């Protein structure tokens, strides 16, 4: 047993270090800087100033780079070589979306369709010394990675699919149109999330979804038991056709929002709370009892609202047919909310995409990064509860 006299009291400097919010950031910065230094040493096969026959080149100063991480912004000094051949692998994962954003700005700038705000941002980020051929070459390089990811084989079963759309402005045929970016996320048999597909479409029709599902099945999608989405008749028909035996869960968040939208302001809060109480029921029977009570209460006061609930609410309760441990995470499309917000944030910088390819490039790069994080991160659901 350690004697009290043997315990060393931390110095004031050590306490200050432990309380410093930048402490972890500094540790990570130091580690990553050492990692990059080791990379270039391996690349050049020589330490700085080392004389060796194996040397393949020479260092040539440093360039500053910012890396966004979970411990904040990391400021790194990236070593350069005289020939300009060295590229740190550390930034590969973080580069795609930044490249895609800058390329979208450059394309818009070169085509003369960018707004004054975008022109200023582009000149600040990129200067004006870039050509159409340079941008085209960079686009092809990035597209190769993104297309390979979009066409990859799906080797696992995905019992749950979550589908959502967000709308962005794209220049097409000399005019600006609003197009839907359809994103399909799956929860695998191992319980991890993964972005399976993205598609930019003019309209959300049955044919659009049918093509999307055909492509997913061609790539190996299997084992689908439940699809979660907002209400869309074309989507429902495509689900029945391509995933026979699978159930459909109407996103409770979208439905709740729609009911609130048609309810007179005087009753909005109480109806919204009553509907939320239905959705938060512990089981299907309790949900049905609370639903009957809601409709009895408002049948004569709000007949249109009650009719809408009666007609469409059944598919909002599909989640009760699945394990209780999964229900809160499979009853809405909220899983994609953060991704959609990030897409909107990047799209707001571009404002109007110069073409569909630029849009798909940026969204594809973002989806790749999120997908990498999801499939290597913590398990989202314990799938042992699903029989």
* Tens of pLDDT, residues 198-225: 999 877 788 999 999 999 999 999 999 9
Q: How far apart are CA 10 and CA 8, in angstroms?
A: 6
pLDDT confidence of residue 95: 60
Phi, psi (degrees; rounded to nearest 5) at 199? -150, 140
Phi, psi (degrees; rounded to nearest 5) at 5? -70, -20
Question: What tokens does 188 get?
Answer: 């695998």
Q: What is the DSSP letter of 7?
A: P
Task: Provide the 3-class DSSP secondary structure of residue 154.
Answer: coil
Q: How many CB atoms lie within 10 A of CB 235?
A: 24
pLDDT confidence of residue 24: 61
Q: How far apart are CA 158 and CA 197, in angstroms?
A: 13
Phi, psi (degrees; rounded to nearest 5) at 158? -125, 90
Low-confidence ranges of the chain (pLDDT < 70): 1-24, 27, 68-72, 90-132, 134-135
Q: How far apart are CA 354 and CA 157, in angstroms?
A: 37
226 beta partners: 160, 247
63 beta partners: 78
Q: How far apart are CA 271 and CA 261, in angstroms?
A: 11
* 101 contacts 319 by C-beta, under 8 angstroms: no
pLDDT confidence of residue 119: 59
Cα 61-66-72 angle, rounded to 5 deg: 140
Which of 95-124 are b and which e, b meaning 16 or more Cβ less than 10 Å from the residue's Cβ? ebbbbbbbbbbbbbbbeebbeeebeebbee
Q: How far apart are CA 79 and CA 130, in angstroms?
A: 24
Task: Provide the 3-class DSSP secondary structure of residue 198.
Answer: strand
Rg (CA), the chain: 27
Q: How far apart are CA 130 and CA 206, in angstroms?
A: 42
Say how far residue 215 (Cα) sits from the centre of its chain. Answer: 20
Q: How far apart are CA 217 and CA 199, in angstroms?
A: 15
166 beta partners: 181
């Amino acid at each position: 047993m350690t004697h009290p006299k043997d315990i060393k009291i931390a110095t004031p400097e050590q306490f200050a270090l432990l309380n410093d919010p930048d402490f972890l950031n500094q540790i990570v910065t130091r580690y990553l800087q050492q990692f990059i230094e080791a990379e270039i040493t391996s690349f050049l096969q020589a330490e700085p100033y080392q004389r060796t026959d194996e040397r393949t080149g020479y260092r040539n100063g440093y360039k500053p780079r910012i890396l966004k991480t979970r411990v904040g912004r990391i400021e790194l000094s990236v070593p350069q070589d005289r020939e300009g051949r060295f590229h740190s692998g550390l930034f590969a994962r973080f580069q795609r979306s930044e490249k895609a954003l800058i390329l979208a700005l450059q394309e818009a700038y070169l085509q003369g369709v960018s707004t004054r705000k975008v022109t200023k941002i582009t000149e600040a980020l990129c200067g004006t010394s870039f050509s159409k051929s340079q941008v085209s070459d960079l686009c092809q390089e990035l597209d190769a990675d993104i297309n390979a990811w979009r066409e990859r084989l799906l080797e696992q079963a995905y019992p749950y699919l979550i589908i959502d759309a967000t709308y962005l402005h794209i220049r097409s045929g000399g005019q600006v149109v609003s197009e839907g970016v359809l994103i399909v996320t799956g929860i695998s048999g191992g319980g991890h999330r993964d972005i399976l597909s993205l598609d930019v479409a003019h309209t959300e029709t049955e044919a659009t979804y049918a093509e999307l599902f055909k492509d997913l099945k061609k790539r190996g999608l299997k084992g689908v038991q439940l699809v979660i989405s907002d209400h869309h008749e074309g989507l429902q028909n495509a689900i029945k056709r391509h995933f026979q035996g699978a159930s459909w869960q109407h996103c409770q968040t979208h439905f709740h929002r729609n009911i609130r939208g048609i309810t007179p302001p005087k009753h909005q809060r109480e109806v919204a709370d009553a509907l939320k109480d239905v959705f938060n029921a512990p089981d299907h029977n309790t949900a049905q009892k609370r639903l009957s009570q809601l409709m009895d209460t408002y049948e004569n006061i709000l007949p249109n609202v009650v009719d809408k609930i009666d007609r469409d609410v059944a598919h909002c309760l599909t989640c009760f047919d699945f394990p209780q441990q999964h229900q809160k995470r499979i009853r809405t499309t909220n899983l994609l909310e953060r991704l959609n917000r990030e897409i909107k944030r990047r799209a707001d910088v571009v404002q109007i995409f110069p073409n569909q390819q630029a849009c798909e490039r940026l969204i594809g790069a973002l989806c790749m990064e999120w997908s990498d994080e999801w499939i290597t991160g913590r398990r989202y659901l314990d799938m042992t509860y699903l029989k």
